[in-house]
Amino acid sequence: MPCTRKPLPDTFEEDPNDASRVVCMLCSRRLARSVTITRGRIKRHSNTAEHKASVSSDTIRKEHIDWGNTGILDDVFEHDDRVYDYQGNEILFDAGGSNDTSTQKHLAEELEHFELWGEYQDLCEGDDDEDVAITNVMAHMRNIGFEDDSDGDEDPPENMEPSTKSRWFPYPSKTMFVLDLLDSMPRLRFSNNALATIIWAMKHVHQTELPSLKALRKIQGDLCKKVGPETAEIKTTMGNTFSVNTLQSGVAKDFACPLIREEMKLYIVDPGDGPVSETFHAAKAQDTDPDLDSPMYADHYENHYYRNEIAKLHNGQYAIVHQWRMTSEGLCADVNHVDVDIETAHDWATFMPNPLRAKANGKRLYTVHLNVWADDVSGARSKQYNEHYNIYYQNSGIPHKKLAQEFFVRFASASTHATSLEQLNAQSLECSHIGMGGNLPCWRCKVGGSNAEKETVLYETLYKPGAPRDPDKTLEEVKRQLSLAAQGVSHNAMNLEQQKSGVKDSIAETFICRLCTVSQEMTGRSTRRKLTSTEQAALQKILDDITGTKWNKLLELKSLGLNVHTDTPDELLHLYLLGQDKYVWHILHNKWDPRDAPLFLIRLESACLKGLTLPPVRAKWILKHSNGLVGKHFKALQQLAVFEVHGLKLGPYIFDLLKATGELGAHLWFPKIRKMEQFLSDLKIYIDNVLDIWSLIDPGRILDKGKLHTLLHFIDDIRRFGPAIGPWKALIYGPPAILFSTEGFECFNAIFRMCSVLSNRLAPSRNITLQFSHMDCFKHIISGGFWRGTNGHFIQAGDGMRAFMNSEKLVQRNLGYIDKKDLVPGTAKLKSAKKHGAAKWCETRYAMLDPPITIEADSVWEECSYVIGQHQDICVEQSWDPLTIERIQSVLQRVTDPTILVIVEVFLLAEARSKRYNMPQLLAGAAGPRLRAFLAKDVHFDFNAQHDCLAAGCSTSGTRPVRQERSDTAATEPIWVHNTQSTSSQYLVNMHALHNADLIREALPRTLTEPIAYLKDRVSSHQASSAIVSGQRTQRRAKAAEKAKERAAQRRAGEAGTGTQDKGKGKRNRGQGSRRAEGDAGLANADAGLLQGGGRP
């Protein structure tokens, strides 16, 4: 029979972490730390002075106990120089002590229980590192009553599974749904404390069915497991660890969400003679290998028709489907008609059925293409850079008017350790290229050579696209570099090889550096000794023992339709706005006189912004921070600066460069291309003009700025991928739609940054990934998405939740979704009640006009704020419309019915474009304004026109009060006054405007918009520029070599002087008598050496 332990005294308890030890409760209470001893030392501990003091303290506490209810504000009393509360508990004033290991572990478990590590810690496993200091603080706060007993952290009920028939399924109640809605808005992120405060406030206004924060976190975790994307932990070849929301689960959610599925294009879309406005309209999609497209079509009877199989047509003939494609007439198939031949039937039968049919196992099988984006982003809101490598992606089968919205951007992964190439192991914008440091500086083509060659014989080639790079050749070069490193090539020799070929793989470089370092250690840093066969074998073994990826795996995906050199297109933000526009702005404002900048500021503030979809131009901020502008500032300057620089100090060709930049920018921002070949021909002229003018201003600029040469590749990119920018109508509510622009992904960084700020910092990759998983889960549920229930059947949220998404615009906007169906062409919006005065038609100033409809004289009309054009433009007063080249003066709506009249002022279109601005001119009538009335349905779209201030003689003749804090001050400032009454007053159609750039060129005659080549003989001009830059850089290199020789001579002289000085110091150690004299001689020699060398090196 086993022996039994003696029962413990009342003041001792067993240590929960170690059964062989016990805890003295009296000493632990008095000392505010866990006091543990072994069981055999209980009697000895009871006789110690420390324990007797604890017994005395406990006795005093019991004598002063009041069994009534007391609070933290009740009186305290002192006894024996100690302070006790009204219940007799001693109040200790200390800064906290160090707890032993067992107490630390216990308190850490308590902290984890109360979810203080991070916002979403319940959704992931516990962490190993604990912050005991925070635990102690929270424990003391709970002990002294600062934490309410009903703080909302009570354990949730065990069974929270709601009925599938509930309107708020899968949530137990509407309140729970609303709280999760608040916690799932991407740009309105809540911390634990903020959400707990909201719950507390709801509780104190007597909200019923209020869940606790812990119950909310539990339901969120359960739903993420059921509905959210699959989250996995990955380890890379470099040994880094990160978490990822798998792409497969994200694509599955697209199919299961009706809001997204109805937008998806599963087959190639043939635009025919229509405009090219989407990626799936362009050449890459049309020329893709049929094996990489959706292989089957399913009819209403669930008959599956696979490509490369025989199908029977309605007319009784047989055909083999080659490829499925969508046309204006519906889904069609490219087929090969079949003639029955017994002799050849066996040969065809060996390829049938399509092997994908067995893999699909009776289910529908489609191919989905993704747009993947990777970048390094700061995870902090402060200026301190907290680098994260992020991966986002989009379903490229969705139209780009939807992809412009954050709702359709999905998060894949983020890591502070693993680079983007490690995370995807399949996506990199580096293309294994060395960059501008190589002889071949372009990652797209093989243009270039040595510096001397690029300045002379190869200078002209920089103005044309070179031979395209091939991923197979790039991969061969990467493997050759690894082989050279395994043969013992030095670092310097490897750098020369990479510079010569222009190939430098970021993953292979890690192993190349490792091999070169080992080789250097073997040779003892000798550049002459070669490795022995044994040493080379050891290096080769190091290379062979490397497991996993040794190079960029993107280079191996050419057979799957991905060419890393041609399928990583140029994008407008970094290449054009932060490239060409930035270069032009720098060379423009750096040459101004002190009076030029204030004058430019005044003019820029007076520019008309109607028809530009630009926010107010903060001209003062732009001039004050002229070297710190971002993309939105350059976008505004690109469209307006050319009108505001007359009379300012400009260098030669600067104004021409400004015009060429604006013309090219507007052409790149076409959302739809209706005549592809004509568009690309015009684009080539615009690009050539920009590069040619740069060659006249700075012949060496194209050698130093690789972005200028890269402009030439826009032609191939647009041919393969479609317009560089998506439909601009999205600008009314948010960023422009993206084809191969990255502005939508850049905007998504703000959501990531908020998730990073609210993460637990201990496992940022996992925590951020889980937060995005939760947000994707909620978006899927509220938008009516399906998921598999416990019984195996697909279910969706209750009708109450789905109605929220359909009817609540606030919810849509905060989830990043915009329904553009609200803008109905031909409709208008009334002005506010205070502004829209009603009047009879006969009393208005437009009664003399001849309206397009019959209007009764006593009919009442009200003023409207704007009218919606045929292209969903919001046309306000003073907007321009190309119907008859008019400017809107007023919009009126009849009170009794929705009839809307638009009153316009008609202008004349000049036959020739302006010689200075190269833009069409609009002339006012000589007899005064000509007004006409049109129906609202006749308004097409709006465009931008600027007043020709140079021709009209406008000046800074006006003043206005300086406004501060939204009120006028006593100070005044000059303003620009447009002279619209002048007989020479005219307007210019802004051909640099980005909004509706394609539509205005279609509305105007081709003779007024056709591009004009800047140089007639480009080759001769480039040869002259080559001679200039070659001479300049030859002199520069000669001066640099001469300075290098002088520095080397000074260094040698300085070293000689230092050696003489050391000899002088040595002589002073010889004898006591002659030490000072010899030392003085040594110092003299040292001084002579310093004078000869010109100072210390």
Task: Based on the fold, state whether residues 704 and 843 are members of the same structural domain.
Answer: no
pLDDT of 727:
44
Among 306, 333, 360, residue at a domain's last position: 360
Element (H, E) at 23: strand 21-24
In this structure, is residue 356 part of a structural domain?
yes
The number of angstroms, rounded, from the C-alpha of 314 to the middle of its chain's C-alpha atoms is 50
In this structure, is residue 1067 part of a structural domain?
yes
Task: Based on the fold, state whether residues 923 and 854 are members of the same structural domain.
Answer: yes
More confident residue, 445 or 438: 445
3-state secondary structure of 595: coil
Lowest mean pLDDT among 425-434, 550-559, 617-626: 425-434
Number of C-alpha atoms within 13 angstroms, CB side, residue 365? 18
As for how many domains the chain has, the answer is: 6
Residues 740-751, mean pLDDT to the nearest whole number: 71
Tens digit of each residue's pLDDT (9 = 90 or more) over 446-459: 998 888 899 999 99
Q: What domain range includes position 587? A: 573-708
Residues 89-109, mean pLDDT to the nearest whole number: 53
Work out the pLDDT band at 80, boundaries 50, 70, 90: low
3-state secondary structure of 500: helix
pLDDT of 128:
41
Task: Based on the fold, state whether residues 619 and 675 are members of the same structural domain.
Answer: yes
Cis peptide before 156 (omega within 30 of 0): no
The number of angstroms, rounded, from the C-alpha of 953 to the middle of its chain's C-alpha atoms is 45
Residues 487-492, mean pLDDT to the nearest whole number: 87
Q: Which two tokens stand for residue 988?
A: 């210019």
For residue 751, the one-letter residue type is I
- Polymer length of the chain: 1097
Tens digit of each residue's pLDDT (9 = 90 or more) over 900-910: 999 999 999 99
Element (H, E) at 36: strand 36-38
In this structure, is residue 535 part of a structural domain?
yes
pLDDT of 1035:
92
Which candidate, 337, 298, 345, places its Cα nearest to that of 321?
337
pLDDT of 181:
87
CA distances from 995 to 581, 709, 820, 909 (A): 18, 26, 17, 20
Q: CA-CA distance, 454 to 254, in Å (whole number)?
A: 50
Task: Based on the fold, state whether residues 495 and 642 are members of the same structural domain.
Answer: no
Residues 295-312, mean pLDDT to the nearest whole number: 88
First to last CA, the chain: 89
Alpha-carbon torsion angle 68, 73, 77, 78, nearest 10: 140
Residues 813-825, mean pLDDT to the nearest whole number: 80
More confident residue, 819 or 290: 290
pLDDT over 80 at 761, yes or no: no
Residues 243, 234 contacting (CB under 8 angstroms): yes
Q: CA-CA distance, 353 to 309, in Å (whole number)?
A: 6
Task: Based on the fold, state whether residues 610 and 665 are members of the same structural domain.
Answer: yes
pLDDT over 90 at 605, yes or no: yes
Task: Based on the fold, state whether residues 862 and 904 are members of the same structural domain.
Answer: yes
Q: Which two tokens stand for residue 100?
A: 């032993």
Residue 634 neighbours by CB distance under 10 Å: 24
Task: Based on the fold, state whether residues 532 and 598 are members of the same structural domain.
Answer: no
More confident residue, 924 or 922: 922
pLDDT over 60 at 461, yes or no: yes
pLDDT over 70 at 158, yes or no: no
Among 360, 382, 401, residue at a domain's last position: 360
**What per-residue string of b and e applies to 159-180 under the rule 16 or more CB within 10 Å gives b?**
ebebeeebebbbbbbbbbbebb
Residues 532-551, mean pLDDT to the nearest whole number: 87
In this structure, is residue 1086 part of a structural domain?
yes
pLDDT of 851:
87
In this structure, is residue 724 part of a structural domain?
no
Task: Based on the fold, state whether residues 600 and 704 are members of the same structural domain.
Answer: yes
Task: Based on the fold, state whether residues 600 and 686 are members of the same structural domain.
Answer: yes
Range among 136-140, 148-152, 407-411 rated most confident: 407-411
pLDDT over 70 at 817, yes or no: yes
Residues 431-448, mean pLDDT to the nearest whole number: 82
Work out the pLDDT band at 822, boundaries 50, 70, 90: low
Which candidate, 721, 632, 734, 722, places its Cα nearest to that of 407?
734
Among 685, 708, 731, residue at a domain's last position: 708
Q: In this structure, is the dihedral angle defined by the CA atoms of residues 95, 98, 100 and 102, taken in order, positive or negative? A: positive
More confident residue, 1008 or 1057: 1008
Q: Which two tokens stand for residue 885?
A: 């080249």
In this structure, is residue 431 part of a structural domain?
no
Q: Which residue is listed with tokens 């989009």?
A: 394
pLDDT over 70 at 232, yes or no: yes
3-state secondary structure of 659: helix
Work out the pLDDT band at 429, boundaries 50, 70, 90: very low
pLDDT of 435:
75
Tens digit of each residue's pLDDT (9 = 90 or more) over 638-661: 999 999 999 999 989 999 999 999
Task: Based on the fold, state whether residues 851 and 1000 are members of the same structural domain.
Answer: yes
Tens digit of each residue's pLDDT (9 = 90 or more) over 335-350: 888 876 666 666 666 6
Q: What is the DSSP string of 527-588?
A: SSPPPPHHHHHHHHHHHHT--S--S-GGGG-GGGT--TTTSS---HIIIIIIIIHHHHHHHH
Tens digit of each residue's pLDDT (9 = 90 or more) over 710-723: 999 999 999 988 88
Lowest mean pLDDT among 35-44, 71-80, 777-786, 988-997: 71-80
pLDDT over 60 at 139, yes or no: no
In this structure, is residue 517 part of a structural domain?
yes
Task: Based on the fold, state whether residues 869 and 1003 are members of the same structural domain.
Answer: yes
In this structure, is residue 976 part of a structural domain?
no
Q: Which two tokens stand for residue 243?
A: 């978490």
Residue 59 neighbours by CB distance under 10 Å: 11
Q: Which residue is listed with tokens 């620009």?
A: 976
Contacts of 267 (CB under 8 A, 6+ apart): 293, 294, 324, 325, 326, 331
Tens digit of each residue's pLDDT (9 = 90 or more) over 30-68: 777 788 888 888 888 888 888 888 888 787 666 554 444
* Whole-number percent of the chain with pLDDT over 90: 31
Q: In this structure, is the dihedral angle defined by the CA atoms of residues 712, 717, 720 and 726, taken in order, positive or negative? A: negative
Which candidate, 366, 334, 338, 333, places its Cα nearest to that of 352?
338
Task: Based on the fold, state whether residues 590 and 554 are members of the same structural domain.
Answer: no
Burial of 386 (0-12, 13-18, 19+ CB in 10 A): middle
Average pLDDT taken over every residue of the chain: 81
Tens digit of each residue's pLDDT (9 = 90 or more) over 493-502: 898 999 888 8
Residues 841, 847 contacting (CB under 8 angstroms): yes
Cis peptide before 616 (omega within 30 of 0): no
E strand segments, 980-1045: 986-989
Residues 332, 319 contacting (CB under 8 angstroms): no
Contacts of 689 (CB under 8 A, 6+ apart): 660, 663, 664, 1011, 1013, 1014, 1015
Contacts of 801 (CB under 8 A, 6+ apart): 167, 168, 169, 171, 177, 781, 782
Q: Which two tokens stand for residue 586?
A: 């720098």
Q: CA-CA distance, 482 to 478, in Å (whole number)?
A: 6
